[in-house]
Amino acid sequence: MAKKVETIGVLTSGGDAPGMNPAIRAVVRKALSQGVKVKGIYQGYKGLLNEEIKDLTARSVSDTISKGGTILYTARCSEFRTKEGQDDGAAVCRKHGIDGLVVIGGDGSFRGAQQLAARGINTIGVPGTIDLDIACTDYTIGFDTAVNTAMDAIDKVRDTSTSHERCSIIEVMGRNAGYIALWCGIANGAEDILLPEQYDYDEQILINNIINNRKRGKKHHIIINAEGIGHSTSMARRIEAATGMETRATILGHLQRGGSPTCRDRVYGSMMGAMAADLLVQGKSNRVVAFKNGEYVDYDIDEALAMQKELPDYMVRVARAMQI
């Protein structure tokens, strides 16, 4: 029979995402409600190695559900990619009596979690990233807030773009994935959407679209460009030279990662955080919480990291059909 977990540690790692606080809060309260103690590990794996660890009570997470960012702070830690760093991390967990760990972050953070699980620390991953790029899950905490923030910002750029009859290239985040670009492309009615998964670097197609749309009487031309393609500023210069249409680039950047989480991110964060605590209480390890086909489920981390994810084909085709 699995040994009962006595103390759960929780950390956030990689890029922060709105909804991480509701997830932390849910880990804490769901664990405490089952008689399990909780410790907060500050600054991700970096803080684990530096023993930045404090007891968390139900009151430690009061008034956090509506806050953006992460109350535990986050970091990227190259030392944790090494065997020595991972050995030290497991030793710190043991020293602090942490026999279960919840890691809230993206794929990279899950690889760290996998290493701790291999060293005997029961570890569960919770998908937290605005990029929606984790293959095993249909939802990642932070995506909804990020796309709503980006959508509002793009609406504003569109207003001025129309007034000046300009072309605007708006660059959104997403690392190597095009989910934020695709969703904003549809939600903002963009004339072109550049997705890293499909982009062929043929700017002549863009130039022809701009010229044809101008002839059709369109007052602006909004191009949503994904960060994975980048180079929006130089692209704008080339497009202006080729079309004669004034063109501006706007890189939305980190504003997409901030702000109070939407209802969706609060609820998914709460559900996934609570489920991670429950899995640890059940003696599970090396699992990742996911939302798949309308249900909260969990997968083996090794299997989850081996999965592949593609942009939804029909969604891409609908987005393209809207551009005429």
112 binds ligand F6P (CB under 6 A): no
CB atoms under 10 Å from CB of 222, counted, come to 25
Distance CA 6, CA 9 (A): 10
Question: Which CB atom, from 117 or from 193, has the smaller least distance to ligand ADP?
Answer: 117
CA dihedral sign, ordered 108, 114, 116, 122: positive
Q: Of the candidates 131, 191, 192, 298, which one interacts with ligand F6P according to CB under 6 A?
A: 131
285 binds ligand ADP (CB under 6 A): no
CB 129 within 8 Å of CB 15: yes
Cα dihedral: 184, 174, 145, 252 (round 10): -70
221 binds ligand F6P (CB under 6 A): no
Q: How far is the CB of 226 from ligand F6P (least distance, A)?
A: 9
Q: Which does 309 bind (CB under 5 to 8 A by kind): ligand F6P, ligand ADP, none?
A: none
Based on the number of CB atoms within 10 Å of its own CB, is 309 exposed (0-12), middle (13-18) or buried (19 or more)? middle
Q: Of the candidates 19, 105, 261, 269, which one interacts with ligand ADP according to CB under 6 A?
A: 105
Beta bridge partners of 191: none
19 binds ligand F6P (CB under 6 A): no
Q: Which amino acid is residue 117, in one-letter code?
A: A
Pick the piece of the chain touching ligand ADP (CB under 6 A) from 9-17, 217-225, 258-266, 269-277.
9-17
Q: Of the candidates 5, 10, 12, 15, which one interacts with ligand ADP according to CB under 6 A?
A: 15
Q: How far is the CB of 203 from ligand ADP (least distance, A)?
A: 31
Question: Which CB atom, from 93 or from 236, has the smaller least distance to ligand ADP?
Answer: 93
Alpha-helix runs per DSSP H in 195-283: 203-215, 232-243, 263-281
Annotated active-site residue 298? The verdict is: no
State which H helix or E strand residue 106 sits in: none
Q: Which amino acid is residue 305, in one-letter code?
A: L
Q: Which amino acid is residue 176, in one-letter code?
A: N
CB atoms under 10 Å from CB of 104, counted, come to 35
14 binds ligand ADP (CB under 6 A): yes
* Catalytic residue (one of 107, 131, 133, 144): 131
Q: Which does 42 bind (CB under 5 to 8 A by kind): ligand F6P, ligand ADP, none?
A: none
Q: How far is the CB of 155 from ligand ADP (least distance, A)?
A: 28
Q: Which residues bind ligand ADP (CB under 6 A)?
A: 13-15, 45, 76-77, 80-81, 105-109, 111-112, 115, 129
Task: Give the residue numbers marked as catalytic.
Answer: 131
